[in-house]
Amino acid sequence: MRIDIITVLPEMLEQTLNCSILKRAQDKGLVEIKLHNLRDYSLDEKHKRVDDYPFGGSAGMVLQCEPVDRAISSLKEQRIYDEIIYTSPDGEQFNQPMANQLSLCENLIILCGHYKGIDYRIREFLITKEISIGDYVLTGGELAAAVMADAIVRVIPGAIGDEQSALSDSFQDNLLAPPVYTRPAEYKGMKVPEVLLSGHQAKIQAWELEQSIERTKRLRPDLL
Ligand code: ADE
């Protein structure tokens, strides 16, 4: 899989996307994540400007069609993209089923929104999907792109060590994950539930399911 991220702030994403599991997945060849600086596609040789004042006189700056179109067109000349995603609080709310589905794609572009927005013609004619990571407004789409890339990559088979563990995450079956514990079995008088020390797999699984259902009912009844 390949994810191309177009942004005016590549430095904001460089570290985040080259750490831990995302780095390992790239080193293993499971995914290629490429950052593209939108300014490299500016026609303004001197200042590399990519934004301009909005028609109509409202406040803030708007990303121009031209550099965005040039960036997307240059990528589309090289391969076929399954989706061209724009990060925006107006978009469809990102969730686990969406991450799973996008992880099956061959090639994705994520265009990070910025400033007051982007010339609407890009959204109408080039973008295939608009995604929001929640009902709040971020300063730009970079953090949203990082959240999406992380959630997408970690469900690619082989990305996390234990293949089972991505599937047993919270949300994968619309249930929150059960509690987990590690040694010591007793800490400051607080004991790990007895069943987890029993070695009885069937009983452990039944307990975990019961805990998942109880936690979901209590904490996220909307998921049931
Ligand atoms: N850009 C600004 N706010 C955003 C959000 N909530 N989700 C995705 N992109 C955004």
pLDDT at 164: 64
Relative to the CA of 139, which ligand 1 atom is closest?
A: 2
Q: From CA 179, how far away is CA 223, in angstroms rounded?
A: 18
- How many whole angstroms from 200 Cα to the centroid of ligand 1? 46
Condensed to tens digits (0 to 9), the pLDDT of residues 67-78 reads 999 999 999 999
| Spatial distance between the Cα atoms of 42 and 47, rounded to a whole number of angstroms | 9
Pick from 184, 174, 181, 185: nearest CA to 209: 174
Question: Sign of torsion, CA 135 133 112 10?
Answer: positive
The pLDDT value recorded for residue 10 is: 98
Confidence band of 114 (pLDDT split at 50, 70, 90): confident
Please say whether the structural domain 173-223 has been given the CATH code 3.90.1150.10: no
pLDDT(167) > 90: no
Q: What is the pLDDT of residue 98?
A: 98
What is the average pLDDT value for the chain, to the nearest integer? 95
Q: Does domain 2-153 have CATH number 1.10.540.10?
A: no
Using DSSP's 3-state secondary structure scheme, residue 201 falls into: helix
Per DSSP, the three-state class of 160 is coil
Q: Does 173-223 match 2-153 at the fold level?
A: no
* CA 223–ligand 1 middle distance (angstroms): 23
Model confidence over 3-43: pLDDT tens digits? Answer: 999 999 999 999 999 999 999 999 999 999 999 999 999 99
Ligand 1 atom 10: the closest Cα is on which residue? 88
What Å distances lie between residue 134 and 101, 199, 215, 220, CA to CA? 19, 41, 22, 16
Distance 119 CA to ligand 1 centre (A): 16
Domain residue ranges in the chain:
2-153, 173-223
